[in-house]
Structure 1
Amino acid sequence: MAHAPSRRRDPHGTRSLAPSLGGRLGARLRPDLIRSDTARRTAAVVLVLIAVALFVRDARVAAGEPVVVAARDLTPGDVLTDADVRIVDRPGSELPQGSVQRIDGVTGRTVAAPVRGGEILTDLRVLGPRLAAAAAGSPDARVVPVRLTDTGVADVIREGDRVDVLTVRGHDTGGSTATPPSATVLASDAAVVLVSPESSSGTRRERIVMLALPASEAGAVAAASLTDAITVTLH
């Protein structure tokens, strides 16, 4: 005759040592609960780190980035000094492409277009390689200064105008030339990037016109300006 298995009891005889059904289920579920709790804590830590990173990023954006602005209204032909510019912080989203972030990046440079006080300075506001390339549409462009034979022409052309550059051979201001002058086109579609301002003293002086040209044409114009009369025709 089979006997029911006897249940073990603890040494004091008050409690069975055999695992109960609830105990067996708890033993199986407890590791899963521990792993789940660990995963939640890990996710919470990750979320906190992400929140801190976003806060730091937003704080930097709010603080802005240093950028050079005009300290006063500037006119074409002004040569910039430390007193003409200052550093301010502006949000990165407000900074135009090519903005200058160091004062020594513009001091000593010539202003190529009117600039209002407080306006952010860019590499296209001052004479330089970037302005020449943008104006002439050529990566190897150069800015060439020329003095026009007819000084009155400089009074009517403006920054941004397109001109053809001609040299007039045989020109003689004294009228003693033996042959009529002949014009040779040295460059076409040159961009006027600056016309030197008129003399503030009221005396008439030669005004310099700065032209942006591809390197090959710039060299020809610069060489001819040393010996020949130079004029331009407007488009």
Structure 2
Amino acid sequence: MALSAADVRVARMPPDLVPSAALAEPSAVESAVLASAASPGEPITRTRLLGAEHTRLVAGPDHSAVPLRLSDPGVASLLSPGARVDVVAADPHEVVARSAVVLAVRAEGSARDGPVVLLALQGDSATRVASVALERPVGVTLR
């Protein structure tokens, strides 16, 4: 889920405890996604965020983002931004893409539809995954 300035607060800390890449302004997190879970009160640093510019670093400029719903919606809760997965399809069983990068997991949606997982895939793999996901159920294996 994308962050907004309302999701964070500025806290005063002793200077020797402030990480060098710590963000000082709430607006710095606007539209970024945490690379992994954060605890309440934890300083947020540039290296913990996946924004548009960060996504390119993780995924690469030759990647495309593909949204999809997994056949088992519960699996999405095991995923977090930055994780790598292989995309598999059913009937016939096949690995459709390898080493996709999870960009985001959006929990919005009905319980029937399940969350949307946004993956970064290289080249033609993105088109193939999007196409296969329209035709048959897909899942992921965690790397």
Note whether the superposition's TM-score is higher than 0.5: yes
List aligned pairs for 1:12-91, cutoff 5 A: 77=1, 79-86=2-9
> Per residue, is there more helix in 1 or in 2?
1
Cα gap change, 1:216 to 1:229, in 2 (>3 Å)? same
1:186 to 79, 96, 100: 96
Partner of 1:231: 139
Q: Quote how far apart the aligned CAs of 1:122 are.
A: 1.4
2:79 to 158, 162, 165: 158
- Is 2:20 aligned against 1:95? yes
Q: Quote how far apart the aligned CAs of 1:115 are.
A: 2.6
- Aligned-partner Cα distance in 1 for 2:95–2:130: 13
TM-score w.r.t. structure 1 length?
A: 0.44
Cα gap change, 1:101 to 1:189, in 2 (>3 Å)? same
- Aligned-partner Cα distance in 2 for 1:124–1:218: 25
**Kindly, what percent of the aligned residue pairs are identical?**
31
Kindly indicate whether the alpha-carbon contact (under 8 Å) linking 1:163 and 1:192 is maintained by their aligned counterparts in 2: yes
Q: Quote how far apart the aligned CAs of 1:132 are.
A: 4.8
3-state SS of paired residue (2:75): helix
TM-score w.r.t. structure 2 length?
A: 0.64
Kindly indicate whether the alpha-carbon contact (under 8 Å) linking 1:132 and 1:213 is maintained by their aligned counterparts in 2: no
Count of matched residue pairs:
137
Cα gap change, 1:164 to 1:122, in 2 (>3 Å)? same
Instruction: Provide the aligned C-alpha RMSD in A.
Output: 3.6
Partner of 1:206: 114
- Is 2:122 aligned against 1:122? no
3-state SS of paired residue (2:34): coil
Cα gap change, 1:104 to 1:226, in 2 (>3 Å)? farther
Tell which structure's C-alpha radius of gyration is larger.
Answer: 1
Cα gap change, 1:87 to 1:130, in 2 (>3 Å)? same
> Per residue, is there more strand in 1 or in 2?
2
Partner of 1:140: 62
- Unmatched runs of 5 consecutive residues or more in structure 1: 1-76, 169-180
